[in-house]
Structure 1
Amino acid sequence: MLQEIAMQREHLQGAAIETIYFGGGTPSLLTADEINRLFDAICRYYPVKDLKECTLEANPDDLDKNYLRSLRHTPVSRFSIGVQSFRDEDLRYMKRAHNAQQADTAIKGAQDAGFENLTIDLIYGIPGLSDAAWKQNLDRVGQLRIPHFSSYALTVEERTALYHAIAQRKAAPVDNERSAAQLEILMHTAAAMGYEHYEISNLALPGRYAVHNTNYWRGLPYLGIGPSAHSFDGGIRRRWNVANNALYTQSILQDHKLQYEEEVLTPHDRLNEYIMTSLRTQWGCDLAYITAQWDATTTKAVAKSSELFQEKKWIVHEGGKLYLTRAGKLFADRIASELFIVEEK
């Protein structure tokens, strides 16, 4: 990874680095020394004087007092803690290594160590998670004074322990209706606690948005380092490194090159991606921006397609922008796909 940082130094074309995000896999396995080595390499090749946020994803069971104390001597200023639930029965169902007490202890320990800028993730739609228990999970966010959290419906990926347990009827399957009901509870409860639902899966107290995530939704360029890491040039090229750890390492250390795949986005790809990402945020889909970047005919087509959803009260059209309503957020992917412009062959 240190070598790749040097190899990729032209990717961002000198753009100032606002955020660094140690994510994917389990970056909390890194020692403070390893984090500093990576950060030093970034500073060597990229302008970081405008750095606003340096986030480390962490498992709750990794954040003990000694590790937290060592991280005070790194640039890490924010933690994303994989809590998922404050209930042991949910964590057992999802085959998580930590328990509810460890989640609580990790959050309080980080705060005591001076890391006030935290985000956690919470999962809803878990079989056995009642609506009352889900609200208790949300209430715990407020009690712990956590400024930001992400919340997702439980999805079961193939080739996971949970997937096989469900297939063998050793675990209950996911109930999509329960997930939808708990998304509504999330929206109402979070608003009552003062959180802004600024993106469908992300909620924050006023002014505490994740800078890294927000820049991603704004379509700014980013560079991903490591196996499977994705990068975007801010224009038309997206690429992702080879996923296999051994091949990744060999290509850099032995072959002195990087193995990756790349796609070139068409104007339609970029438009549809803008529609999808902008609709998910509280800032909405800007029709004037579509006109400026594409053309007025495209803007009219998108606006026309939105009329059906305006009638259903799933979208509101205000100030030249399209916004999802609370009801519309339950159908965000469907709505976005209906607004997509299909490229003529």
Structure 2
Amino acid sequence: MTGLYVHIPFCSSRCVYCGFYSTTGLELRDRYVEAVCKEMAMRFSANPISTIYLGGGTPSQLSIEQLKKIFDTAYIYNKVEKEAEITMEMNPDDVTEELAAALQQLPVNRISMGAQTFDDERLRFLRRRHSSSQVHQAVKTLRQAGFKNISIDLMYGFPNQTLAEWQSDIDKALELNVEHISTYCLMYEEGTPLYRLLELGKVTEIDEELERQMYYTLIDRLKAAGYEHYEISNFARPGYRSRHNSSYWKGIPYIGIGAAAHSYDIQTRSWNIDNIHDYIAGIEQGKRIFDAETLDEDTRYNDAVTVALRTCEGLDLTKLTPKQQQYCLRNAQRHLEAGLLKLNQQQLSLTKDGLFVSDLIMSDLMLV
């Protein structure tokens, strides 16, 4: 099976923290959709498509006609499984009764929304377009339209945020009773407006111990509410894991369509040019502009470590070569003794304490 990702880079405004490729050039939407459809025709999958994910950017900035064209093309050139998971990202303020009803006429069966926080002052700081009340209304509207699989994104670790304030955000998220919650600590990525604020001393990062308390509070509260902590940053009701994102962590091939989209076929990894003008121009001339790398055995090992250890199942050592197994276990030993890793037969996974320092542990297990 194969996953299909379509990048929709359009945003009416940029969030202060976002490091993903996006553009506010909304006048390019028609040409971009045409290019995306042409690229799909050029790169159809020989394997059945098990998941489709429209990410961004803000896919809900497209019209229903444009979305229909993308989905029609995906189904024309690929064999999409009958029970495929079809996810579309959207902003809460884009959700109307008309949009929700129209999406029910498309193959979309899963919605992913960026709530981020239920504090309106922090939403303004992030330069989000929506208010906290719009998140509640959006979920209600989507439910009334018949959507039974909704995910929201939550963010913590804001400058000056207290543990009590984070607990309040968790409470409000739980009130929504959505099927899936993805969570992220606020990151200061170079090149973003947020990073510039940090450099200028206008904001300060929270300290590591408070971040740790926020993360553990999140885990405990969501588990107590019946969510499965199946990946470092992701929680799901039973049966509602993100199948598309899980395919990344399981090393399942995927095709990335659109500007800056990444693809993976086990042997190679490639990524489209991250310039919408050059992307469109290339596709219009029948040429995909991209870079690629061939993945050697060491790189595939490193990939396996960094994606599999993110999951609750962990790394299946039987899928490694004997030499890789020996290297991995040798380097894992001190983390096993420290209680940061656990070994269950041939499954190496992070403990709760190990989750918070996962980057350090993965780095130690990787080949250099």
TM-score grouping bracket, smaller chain normalisation? over 0.9
Structure 2 stretches lacking a partner, 5+ long: 1-35
Following the alignment from structure 1 to structure 2, what is the Cα–Cα distance between the partners of residues 74 and 327?
43
Q: Which residue of 2 aligns with 1:247?
A: 278
Please list the CA deviations of residues 97-121 of structure 1 after superposition, one character each: whole Å capped at 9, or x if unmatched.
Answer: 2111112211221112111200011
1:231-270 to 2 correspondence within 5 Å? 231-233=263-265, 235-253=266-284, 255-270=285-300
Please list the CA deviations of residues 31-84 of structure 1 after superposition, one character each: whole Å capped at 9, or x if unmatched.
Answer: 222111111111111101334211110011111222112211111111100110
Following the alignment from structure 2 to structure 1, what is the Cα–Cα distance between the partners of residues 349 and 159?
31
1:79-158 to 2 correspondence within 5 Å? 79-158=111-190
Q: 2:259 aligns with which of 216, 227, 230?
A: 227
Question: What is the CA distance between 1:166 and its match in structure 2?
Answer: 3.0
- Do the aligned partners of 1:4 and 1:225 also contact (CA within 8 Å) in 2? yes
Question: What is the CA distance between 1:6 and its match in structure 2?
Answer: 0.6
Question: What is the CA distance between 1:174 and its match in structure 2?
Answer: 4.1
Give me the identity figure in percent. Answer: 37
Question: What is the CA distance between 1:284 and its match in structure 2?
Answer: 1.1
1:291-330 to 2 correspondence within 5 Å? 295-330=321-356
Following the alignment from structure 1 to structure 2, what is the Cα–Cα distance between the partners of residues 67 and 207?
26
- Matched AA of 1:333: D
Question: What is the CA distance between 1:177 and its match in structure 2?
Answer: 3.0
Question: What is the CA distance between 1:129 and its match in structure 2?
Answer: 2.2
Aligned to 1:49, the other structure's residue is in SS state strand
- Do the aligned partners of 1:119 and 1:148 also contact (CA within 8 Å) in 2? yes
Following the alignment from structure 1 to structure 2, what is the Cα–Cα distance between the partners of residues 86 and 16?
39
Residues 49 and 313 from structure 1, CA distance in 2 versus in 1: closer, same or farther, beyond 3 angstroms? Answer: closer
Q: Which residue of 2 aligns with 1:167?
A: 199
- Do the aligned partners of 1:229 and 1:241 also contact (CA within 8 Å) in 2? yes
Question: What is the CA distance between 1:271 and its match in structure 2?
Answer: 0.4
Following the alignment from structure 2 to structure 1, what is the Cα–Cα distance between the partners of residues 312 and 191?
35
- Matched AA of 2:274: A
Residues 297 and 160 from structure 1, CA distance in 2 versus in 1: closer, same or farther, beyond 3 angstroms? Answer: closer
Bigger share in strand: 2
Following the alignment from structure 2 to structure 1, what is the Cα–Cα distance between the partners of residues 61 and 222?
32
- Do the aligned partners of 1:95 and 1:162 also contact (CA within 8 Å) in 2? no
- Do the aligned partners of 1:127 and 1:175 also contact (CA within 8 Å) in 2? no
How many residues end up aligned between the 2 structures? 333
Please list the CA deviations of residues 305-324 of structure 1 after superposition, one character each: whole Å capped at 9, or x if unmatched.
Answer: 11100111001111211111
- Matched AA of 2:177: R
Is residue 276 of structure 1 aligned with residue 311 of structure 2?
no
